[in-house]
Amino acid sequence: MFAVHLSMSIDAKLLSRIRSEFPAVERAPNGKKRVFLDNGAGTLVTRRSAERENRARIDWSANVGNVFLESKGAGETILEGRRAVSDFLRAEGPETIISGESCTALMFALSYAISRNLKGDENVVTTGYEHYANINPWLELGGQGLISELRFAKFNLDTGLLDMEEFKRLVDKKTKVVTVTAASNVLGTRSDLIELGKMAKEVGAYFVVDAVHHVAHGPTDVRKMGCDALIFSGYKLFSRHGSFMYLRPELVDKLQPYKVDPSPKFGPEKWEMGTRDQAMFAAISGAIDYLVWLGHPSSKTPPNPGPQRSAHLKRVMEEIEAYEKELTRMVLDGYGIVQGLRYIPGLRMYGPREIQPRIGRDPTFAFKLEGHDDHDVAKLLWDKYALAVGAEDYYSRVPALYKTKTMLRATFVHYNTKEDVLALLEALSEIAFGKEARTPPRRKQKRPEKKPAKKEKKVEKDKKGKRRKK
């Protein structure tokens, strides 16, 4: 019998086993040893996901709906993938899970389906820190006269936090959709999904969540947050490209998406354009298998699909969140004599400078170094320090609000280590102080703190030894 209760915590021993599950965690494809901190653009792929995908591509390459083994295997693989995603999101069942090419494609499909019931005088409300995948699908409706306005709630440029009072003022009886990101892919700011969902329900609006950037960082419970739709991408959850949308059961059939006439008229299949890629479902199953393993690395009996696996995955994601909270504190505050991001002279950090007590903060950090071009810094971090970070606009409206075209960004996940944090902080301090021309000390600052203590103990023992001889 599988026990749902977990005593798991990510310590050094478990972290070593975690990292062994990711073949590319230590080195780039050319063999260069590096620290991967561009997880916000796509996480590394777990071995289990790649193996499941490879098997599906070879063994289950046929289309579904036929009597032979390859076809039946393809159908079973797709259903298994839907079940795994449903359990991960704590949804009602596999019939609520829809696949698509990307979050952007699914969001356009959803906005179109919703627009078929609009009169043109309604509005849509969102946050000021959205990815354009959650902006343009709604702007498109405005351009076609299907909504009157897309409203952006402001966030505090100093703290990175959403102005909840303004958001509430923007939501009115004409609001048809409240659509928000679970966490900003630039700032690391988390949206208060429970409260925002309540605002939507008070006026009878659809509540849509873009969970792409947050899904790897903590538990996602679609029923608890009361959302009508939620979208995430597999490549942000240790798997391959391709995305998934949860849709509230009654909306799966009620809403009418684009489709060709012969395709199914009911169920998630009616939303899915063209032949399904069974390997994508296999890959996400493998990623979720990995998370299940993480909860009990030594167990030979996995939890049963359904409520048992769902409860297990929730606890695993809570432990991941707790571990990443430690990394976040270290990034912000530093460690020992190593300064945190918010203390490095000449470095401007964007987003919350503290972890919010109730909603938390994702381990995503955007920053700029005074007097340095972002792309030059990213190149230097890679060439000199073997640190992989981003330098772009991240398809977000956030950089423009700070009157800049790009920002540097480092995003951590649970396979990253405290040593990874220190490597980044030390490198940025070197660059900020103009010392990047020499080889960085790589944590040698800590050694002087330990050596005096060791010498004193040794001297005491020597003296005691001498006294014994006398």
pLDDT bin (cut points 50, 70, 90) of residue 8 is: low
pLDDT bin (cut points 50, 70, 90) of residue 2 is: very low
Give me the residue spans of the domains in the chain: 55-288
At what angle are helices 69-89 and 278-295 packed, to 10 degrees? 50
Q: How many percent of the chain have pLDDT more than 90? A: 87
User: Do 356 and 450 meet the contact criterion of CB atoms below 8 Å apart?
Assistant: no
Decide if pLDDT at 328 tops 80.
yes
User: Do 421 and 331 meet the contact criterion of CB atoms below 8 Å apart?
Assistant: yes
Going by C-beta distance under 8 Å and a sequence separation of 6 or more, which residues neighbour residue 356?
Answer: 161, 190
User: Do 415 and 19 meet the contact criterion of CB atoms below 8 Å apart?
Assistant: yes
Domain 55-288 has CATH 3.40.640.10: yes
Average pLDDT on 368-378 reads 97
Decide if pLDDT at 135 tops 70.
yes
Token readout for 442 is: 């790589």
Decide if pLDDT at 464 tops 80.
no
**Mean per-residue pLDDT of the chain:** 92
pLDDT bin (cut points 50, 70, 90) of residue 249 is: very high
Average pLDDT on 118-129 reads 97
Strands 229-233 and 347-350 come out as: unpaired
Decide if pLDDT at 436 tops 70.
no
Average pLDDT on 215-238 reads 98
244 or 433, higher pLDDT? 244
Tens digit of each residue's pLDDT (9 = 90 or more) over 230-246:
999 999 999 999 999 99
Decide if pLDDT at 466 tops 70.
no
Q: Which among 4-8, 364-368, 454-458 has the top mean pLDDT?
A: 364-368
Token readout for 211 is: 């969970």
Token readout for 259 is: 């489709």
Decide if pLDDT at 437 tops 70.
no
Decide if pLDDT at 47 tops 70.
yes
